[in-house]
Amino acid sequence: MKVYVNDIPVDILPGMTVRHALMGAGLLGEIGRKKVYDEWGNEIGLDGTLSEGMKISVK
């Protein structure tokens, strides 16, 4: 399924998490200096599950 990290599409398998999406986007190393947010501006955990079309941002 496709999710979007900072508007970049990333393909992940069902059951994969925010962590996997960040790996796919090459942004996992940013965590600590930055955090992950859902499209409504809420911080989400790295082990949170994603669904088709979800948009998350690292900032």
Partner 1 sequence: MKRFMPVLISLMLFMFFLAPAAGEQHTLRILYVNDFHGFAEPYKPLGSDKFEGGIAYLAGEVRRLRAEMPSLLLAAGDMIQGNNWANLFQGESTIEVMQAMKFDAMVVGNHEFDFGQEVLRKRISEAGFPMLGANVEGFDALRPYMIGEVGRVRIAIIGVATEDTPVSTHPRNVAGLKFGPPADVVGNYIKELKDKADIIVVLSHIGYAADRTLAENVKGIDVIVGGHSHTMLARPVKIGGTIIVQAWEHAKALGVLDLTVEDGKISGCQGRLEDIKPVPDGEDRVVMAMVAKYRDRVSKVLDEPIGTAEADLDGEGVRKRETNLGDFIADIMRKTSGADAAIINGGGVRTSINKGEIKVKDVYSVLPFDNYIVAVKLTGAQLRQALEHGVSAVERGEGRFPQVSGLAFTYLPSAPAGSRVGQVLIGGRPLEPDREYSVATNDFLAAGGDGYKAFGDAVKSSKDFAVVGGMMRGEKLVYNDAGRWLRDVVIEYIKENKRIGPAVEGRIGEVK
The reply to whether 42 sits near partner 1 by the rule CB under 8 A is yes
Task: Return all residues near 1 (Cβ < 8 A) that are at least 6 apart.
Answer: 11, 12, 13, 14, 50, 51, 52, 53
- Among 4, 6, 16, 57, indicate the residue that binds partner 1 (CB under 8 A): 16
The reply to whether 4 sits near partner 1 by the rule CB under 8 A is no
The reply to whether 14 sits near partner 1 by the rule CB under 8 A is yes
The reply to whether 43 sits near partner 1 by the rule CB under 8 A is yes
The reply to whether 59 sits near partner 1 by the rule CB under 8 A is no
Virtual CA dihedral for 25, 28, 32, 34, nearest 10 degrees? Answer: 0
